[in-house]
């Protein structure tokens, strides 16, 4: 094998240059050894992005294998662009979540927008039409000077992209914590619907088949984005601006419609979007999955700027681009669809049987100049696919349990005015209304939003699936959750709580949870404490996914979330998709009728305040004993909830989570505009502990009085404790002997939660 | 009843309009692509919401240069432009005024109430009726000059105005209900929709096609389509 051609002006390649691209000395030495020669500058760029943490999962792969990924409902597990679960009648829900943390911190609008664009492409690449999006956001302290502009930019970016392409953003979650001051999190989730027998995969099948480039032209934006996403932040973060991509949702809308038409024509063997590491990773991954090689003619790459080098074309992360492998002789069908939608299209290569990634380019050729092409194309990249994909570095990094110093429960003064404490929590940015955010998202486009943001624990969207016997209505329940504070205190239980809460949210709206996607946001894997936390969190996710029968079908890992050596709270965000069988099973959180009974399902609180919002505010830091979770009790509770909804025995359901019992009760009142008079379940020697504990596996339901005996019977049959607390009615929320607050005051406090950050809220 | 739903590149409520007309109303509804030049003999045309051509210049500004625009101008039956469709109709000059950036400069999506004030093919027998319908737009602030406003008012062409739940109009654009402005975007005279001088073309920012089924939170929007059916059947 001859040495590939180095382009004129390429810098000399050595370990020091490799280090600037994020490769360690050992990794560089390994590449040289396998190749039997030093890579060219262009090849070094290709190797470094493919071996970046973002693309290779080199620190996480050994742990991810412990996650359960199988079940009768799984249509497509991890490893493809997105996962899929069966929703009946031959259809599946296709979904995934991805992080866009670092770009969003550097440039919040475009970072968040392209995060949405990327996850949408992951879903429609599978052949599914996207029907809804969610997001999970983390910002620093509300009072941090950067928080307002980051919040404004991220929300506008998510809306700007999702609203334009016309996929409703129907829910999400948000937390502010000092640990995110220098490293925000933007995790974007999208779900689509497809026929299970018509999914598309990222495979370069069929030697000799043409490789076709579709979509936006290639520019210099986003070069080394994947590498940037795989390093911690420090001084000079702003100088990383050129690594952020710029999104064009209009282009993506055209791409979406063209792709769905191309897929339907049956002319494709495989397709993959050009996401992180752009043309390089899409080509290499498609070839790797098929066990083939791929050869690209870089002269043919559509480009929007002059003098792009092979290095730049291969590493650009310009958005809204797709790589397709068509069946030989059917290229014209792709061209026709692209002509209809005014999209750029070009044959840029072919599938080979060499097992190598080969790129050719003519030195000095630039389609933007009038200079005629001189000479023949030269091979500029010639690398084994295996070196870039399966045989990329894989590490089992050292792990060490972190010190628990500083997390002991401090002595906090007892609360004096519990009504004021409750109002304070409702007013706090971590608890109160998110309407300033979701009003900026089109959450009603596509005529499918059955439960809108803010109304219930999970969103419910309707998909109309076209079958031979006419359209079938499918109701998908969607939830996303994670509370990094509980993960910090106990990574196993905290991660399990995230899955449990999502599944409970879905059960509360009347759905059966089917599958999970995750987005694992952690600090540097090179620190043993972080790696230990990561591994424990994986075990917690795995245990909960098994106990609740929600296998992981897709996901994403985002490491190096730290600035100047300070890591974020461990944040293994999870999103779940469930199915609501019938529209009449849908429940929201709002108390609906005067005289209805209020019941507490699940074991009453022990008054454990560890990790709670109330304690964190009081102590000024995340602290306390971890509250833990009993996954068997959780599973029983969820089975009971589903049976209650399906038999119309409840009128509303809302789980106790951030802020605890009092906040959950207040939310039932303020969304419904009705008061309630209840007693506090459990022994009340320190009522604030019972009011504000965030122990999991508890749900508040309301029900018609005549439904009580049957509800008790269902709960007993599942072994779920059920405590009747009082009834709905009046204009105040009264907790006997403890507090009484007008519903109007609850509403006002709740509504104003973000006013301190965005005064125009 | 044949209803043509126009599809511009970037239209994204085209499906919503087709679904409401075809699946809910039972009309013979079909798409007409912007590169076509023939509307294929519809009884009425819907110009749907979205971001035609990306709305990068001005919302709706480019659609008038589409091949289908000539057929739309020549069509003599009822036309309903919703959201981006309303913006397109003003850019085409088929309706007066313009839709400017919302007063608070953000995209706004929520249910609002509008009071029906004019009778026409889409609002027959509905005067005074309050509808609960969603909005979803960044550029929905209706604006026109004094003379145009005077004419709209004098000719009774204001089809919908933003109002409180009970139908009363806001005292001014800052007037709130449930903590939110009743007039959600600062529109002049609280205008949410207008008819042309012949009461044939209706443009409106709220989305009636997204409020045609109770499962979606409101079926008040169906009244516009039911009115259209009555109007066409009476001809």
What distances in angstroms separate CA A691 from CA A73, A526, A608, A699, B91, one per listed residue?
39, 40, 10, 14, 57
Does the predicted model carry a pTM greater than 0.90?
A: yes
Average pLDDT over residues B115-123: 98
> Taking the CB of residue B81, how many other CB atoms lie within 10 A of it?
28
Give me the residue spans of the domains in chain B: 2-233
Active site residues per annotation of B = 83, 207, 209
Q: What pLDDT is attached to residue A243?
A: 66
Of A445, A464, A751, nearest to B12 by CB-CB distance is A445
Chain A residues whose CB is inside 8 A of the B10 CB are 164, 250, 253-254
Whether B23 and A464 lie within 8 Å, measured CB to CB: yes
More confident residue, A469 or B119: B119
Residue of B nearest to A750 (CA): B179
What distances in angstroms separate CA A199 from CA A271, A412, A414, one per listed residue?
11, 56, 58
Distance from C-alpha of A362 to C-alpha of A146, rounded to nearest angstrom: 46
Whether B54 and A249 lie within 8 Å, measured CB to CB: yes
Of B56, B107, B110, nearest to A159 by CB-CB distance is B107
**Average pLDDT value over all residues in chain A:** 94
Distance from C-alpha of A310 to C-alpha of A298, rounded to nearest angstrom: 7
| Per-residue pLDDT reduced to its tens digit, A82-111 | 999 999 999 999 999 999 999 999 999 999
Interface test with B, best of A153, A445, A453, A456 (most B CBs within 10 A): A445
| Per-residue pLDDT reduced to its tens digit, A439-496 | 999 999 999 999 999 999 999 999 999 888 888 999 999 999 999 999 999 999 999 9
The residues, ordered by sequence, that sit 6+ positions from A10 with a Cβ below 8 Å of its Cβ are: A40, A41, A42, A311
Q: Are strands A169-176 and A185-195 parallel, antiparallel or unpaired?
A: unpaired
Which of A411, A482, A417, A507 lies closest to A691, judged by CA? Answer: A417
Tokens of B48: 């749907």
User: Do A234 and A560 meet the contact criterion of CB atoms below 8 Å apart?
Assistant: no
Tokens of A270: 């495989």
More confident residue, A242 or A433: A433
Query: CA angle, corner A450, sides to A449 and A451, nearest 5?
Result: 100
Q: Is A718 a catalytic residue?
A: no
Which of A710, A695, A708 lies closest to A656, judged by CA? Answer: A695
Distance from C-alpha of A104 to C-alpha of A100, rounded to nearest angstrom: 6
A and B: number of Cβ contacts within 8 A: 96
Chain A residues whose CB is inside 8 A of the B110 CB are 435, 439
Helix (H) or strand (E) holding A123: helix A108-124
Chain B residues whose CB is inside 8 A of the A246 CB are none
Chain B residues whose CB is inside 8 A of the A464 CB are 19, 23
Which of 454-513 (A) contact B at CB < 8 A?
A: 462, 464, 471
- Chain-centroid distance, C-alpha A621: 26
Residue of A nearest to B107 (CA): A440
Residue A24 Cα, gap to closest chain B Cα (Å) = 43
Q: What pLDDT is attached to residue A732?
A: 98
Distance from C-alpha of A504 to C-alpha of A563, rounded to nearest angstrom: 34
Q: Residue A7 — pLDDT band, cuts 50, 70, 90?
A: confident
The residue with tokens 């309303």 is B86
Question: Taking the C-alpha atoms of A123, A126, A128 and A129 in order, what is their torsion angle to the nearest 10 degrees?
Answer: 50
Q: What pLDDT is attached to residue A417?
A: 95
Distance from C-alpha of A347 to C-alpha of A212, rounded to nearest angstrom: 4
| Per-residue pLDDT reduced to its tens digit, A279-295 | 999 999 999 999 999 99
Length of chain A: 761
Backbone dihedral angles phi then psi of residue A19, each to the nearest 5 degrees: -65, -35
Q: Residue A415 — pLDDT band, cuts 50, 70, 90?
A: confident
Distance from C-alpha of B156 to C-alpha of B126, rounded to nearest angstrom: 14
Query: CA angle, corner A212, sides to A335 and A205, nearest 5?
Result: 120
| Per-residue pLDDT reduced to its tens digit, A191-243 | 999 999 999 999 999 999 999 999 999 998 877 766 666 667 665 665 665 66
Tokens of A292: 């083939």
Interface test with B, best of A113, A152, A447 (most B CBs within 10 A): A447
| Per-residue pLDDT reduced to its tens digit, B137-158 | 999 999 999 999 999 999 999 9
The SS3 assignment for A67 reads coil
Backbone dihedral angles phi then psi of residue A252, each to the nearest 5 degrees: -70, -35
Distance from C-alpha of A553 to C-alpha of A189, rounded to nearest angstrom: 13
Q: What pLDDT is attached to residue B235?
A: 85
Q: What pLDDT is attached to residue A404?
A: 77
Whether B51 and A249 lie within 8 Å, measured CB to CB: yes
Tokens of A635: 């599973």
What DSSP assignment string belongs to A325-367? EEPTT-HHHHHHHHHHTT--EEEEEEEESS-EEEEEE-TT--T
The SS3 assignment for A111 reads helix
Chain B residues whose CB is inside 8 A of the A253 CB are 9-10, 12, 51
State ipTM. Answer: 0.97
Average pLDDT over residues A611-626: 94
Interface test with A, best of B107, B165, B211, B216 (most A CBs within 10 A): B107
User: Do A387 and A407 meet the contact criterion of CB atoms below 8 Å apart?
Assistant: no
Domain B2-233 falls under CATH 3.20.20.210: no
Length of chain B: 235
Residue A452, chain B, CB below 8 Å: the answer is: yes
Q: Are strands B201-204 and B130-137 parallel, antiparallel or unpaired?
A: unpaired
Tokens of B112: 């609002």
Of A163, A165, A464, nearest to B107 by CB-CB distance is A163
Distance from C-alpha of A137 to C-alpha of A173, rounded to nearest angstrom: 6
The residue with tokens 């890579």 is A39
């Amino acid at each position: 094998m001859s040495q590939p051609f180095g382009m004129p002006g390429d810098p000399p390649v050595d370990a020091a240059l490799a280090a600037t691209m994020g490769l360690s000395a050992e990794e560089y030495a390994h590449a040289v050894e396998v190749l039997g020669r030093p890579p060219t500058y262009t090849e070094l760029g290709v190797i470094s992005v493919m071996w970046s943490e973002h693309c290779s999962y080199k620190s996480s792969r050994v742990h991810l294998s412990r996650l359960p990924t199988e079940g009768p409902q799984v249509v497509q597990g991890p490893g493809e662009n997105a996962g899929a679960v069966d929703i009946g009648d031959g259809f599946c829900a296709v979904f995934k979540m991805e992080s866009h943390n670092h770009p969003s911190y550097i440039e919040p609008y475009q970072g968040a927008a392209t995060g949405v664009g990327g996850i949408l492409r992951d879903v429609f690449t599978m052949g599914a039409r996207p029907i809804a999006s969610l997001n999970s956001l983390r910002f620093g302290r509300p009072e941090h000077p950067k928080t307002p502009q980051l919040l404004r930019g991220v929300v506008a970016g998510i809306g700007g992209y999702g609203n334009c392409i016309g996929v409703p953003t129907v829910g999400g979650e948000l937390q502010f914590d000092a640990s995110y001051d220098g490293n925000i999190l933007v995790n974007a989730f999208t779900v689509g619907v497809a026929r299970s027998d018509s999914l598309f995969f990222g495979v370069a099948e069929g030697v000799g088949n043409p490789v076709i480039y579709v979509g936006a032209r290639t520019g210099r934006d986003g070069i080394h984005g994947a590498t940037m996403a795989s390093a911690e932040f420090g001084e000079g973060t702003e100088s990383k601006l050129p690594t952020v991509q710029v999104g064009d949702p209009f282009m993506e809308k055209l791409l979406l419609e063209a792709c769905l038409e191309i897929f339907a024509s049956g002319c494709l063997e495989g397709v993959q979007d050009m996401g992180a590491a752009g043309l390089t990773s899409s080509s290499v991954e498609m070839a790797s999955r098929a066990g083939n090689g791929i050869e690209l003619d870089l002269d043919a790459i559509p480009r929007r700027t002059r003098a792009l080098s092979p290095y730049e074309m291969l590493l650009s992360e310009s958005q809204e681009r797709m790589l397709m492998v068509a069946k030989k002789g059917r290229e014209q069908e792709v061209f026709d669809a692209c002509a209809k939608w005014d999209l750029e299209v070009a044959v840029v290569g072919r599938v080979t049987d060499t097992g190598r990634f080969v790129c050719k380019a003519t030195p000095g050729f630039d389609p933007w100049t009038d200079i005629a092409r001189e000479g023949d194309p030269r091979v500029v990249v010639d690398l084994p696919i295996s070196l870039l994909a399966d045989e990329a570095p894989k590490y089992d990094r050292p792990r060490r349990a972190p010190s628990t110093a500083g997390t002991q429960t401090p002595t906090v003064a007892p609360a004096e005015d519990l009504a004021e404490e409750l109002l304070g929590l409702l007013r706090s940015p971590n608890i109160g209304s998110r309407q300033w955010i979701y009003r900026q998202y089109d959450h009603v486009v596509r005529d499918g939003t059955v439960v809108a943001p803010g109304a219930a624990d999970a969103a419910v969207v309707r998909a109309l699936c076209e079958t031979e016997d006419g359209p079938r209505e499918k109701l998908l329940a969607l939830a996303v959750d994670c509370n990094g504070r509980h993960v910090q205190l106990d990574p196993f239980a905290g991660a399990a709580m995230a899955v449990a809460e999502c599944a409970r949210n879905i059960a509360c709206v009347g759905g059966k949870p089917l599958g999970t996607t995750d987005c694992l946001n952690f600090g540097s894997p090179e620190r043993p404490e972080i790696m230990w936390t990561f591994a424990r969190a994986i075990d917690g996710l795995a245990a909960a996914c098994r106990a609740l029968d929600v296998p992981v079908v897709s996901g994403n890992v985002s490491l190096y979330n730290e600035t100047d050596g300070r890591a974020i709270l461990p944040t293994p965000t999870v999103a779940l998709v469930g199915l609501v069988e019938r529209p009449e099973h849908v429940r929201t959180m709002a108390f609906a009728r005067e005289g209805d009974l209020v019941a507490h399902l699940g074991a009453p609180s022990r008054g454990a305040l560890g990790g709670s919002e109330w304690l964190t505010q009081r102590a000024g830091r995340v602290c306390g004993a971890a509250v833990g979770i009993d996954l068997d009790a959780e599973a029983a509770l969820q089975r009971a909830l589903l049976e209650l909804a399906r038999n119309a025995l409840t009128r509303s359901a809302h789980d106790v989570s951030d802020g605890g019992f009092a906040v959950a009760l207040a939310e039932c009142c303020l969304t419904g505009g009705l008061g309630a008079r209840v007693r506090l379940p459990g022994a009340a020697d320190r009522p604030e502990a019972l009011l504000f504990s965030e122990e999991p596996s508890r749900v508040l339901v309301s029900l018609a009085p005549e439904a009580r005996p049957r509800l008790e019977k269902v709960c007993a049959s599942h072994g779920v404790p059920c405590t009747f607390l009082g009834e709905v009615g009046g204009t105040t929320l009264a907790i006997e002997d403890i507090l009484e607050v007008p519903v109007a005051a609850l509403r006002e406090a709740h509504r104003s939660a973000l006013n301190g950050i965005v005064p125009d809220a | 009843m044949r209803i043509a739903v126009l599809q511009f590149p970037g239209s994204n409520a085209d499906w919503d309009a087709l679904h409401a007309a075809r699946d809910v109303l039972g009309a013979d509804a079909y798409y007409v692509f912007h590169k076509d030049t023939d509307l294929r003999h519809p009884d009425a045309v819907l110009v749907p919401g979205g971001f035609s051509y990306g709305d990068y210049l001005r919302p709706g500004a480019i659609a008038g240069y589409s091949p289908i625009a000539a057929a739309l101008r020549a069509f003599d039956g009822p036309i309903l432009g919703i959201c981006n469709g309303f913006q397109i109709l003003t850019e085409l000059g088929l309706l007066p005024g313009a839709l400017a950036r919302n007063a608070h400069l953000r995209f706004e999506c929520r249910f609002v109430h509008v009071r029906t004030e004019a009778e026409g093919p889409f609002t027959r027998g509905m005067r005074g009726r309050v509808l609960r319908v969603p909005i979803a737009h960044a550029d929905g602030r209706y604006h026109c000059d004094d003379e145009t406003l005077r004419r709209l008012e004098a000719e009774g062409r204001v089809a919908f105005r933003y109002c409180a739940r009970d139908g009363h109009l806001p005292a001014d654009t800052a007037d709130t209900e449930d903590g939110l402005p009743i007039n959600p975007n600062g529109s002049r005279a609280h205008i949410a929709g207008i008819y042309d001088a012949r009461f044939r073309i209706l443009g409106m920012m709220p989305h009636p096609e997204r409020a045609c089924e109770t499962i979606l939170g409101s079926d008040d929007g169906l009244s516009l389509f039911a009115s259209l059916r009555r109007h066409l059947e009476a001809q």
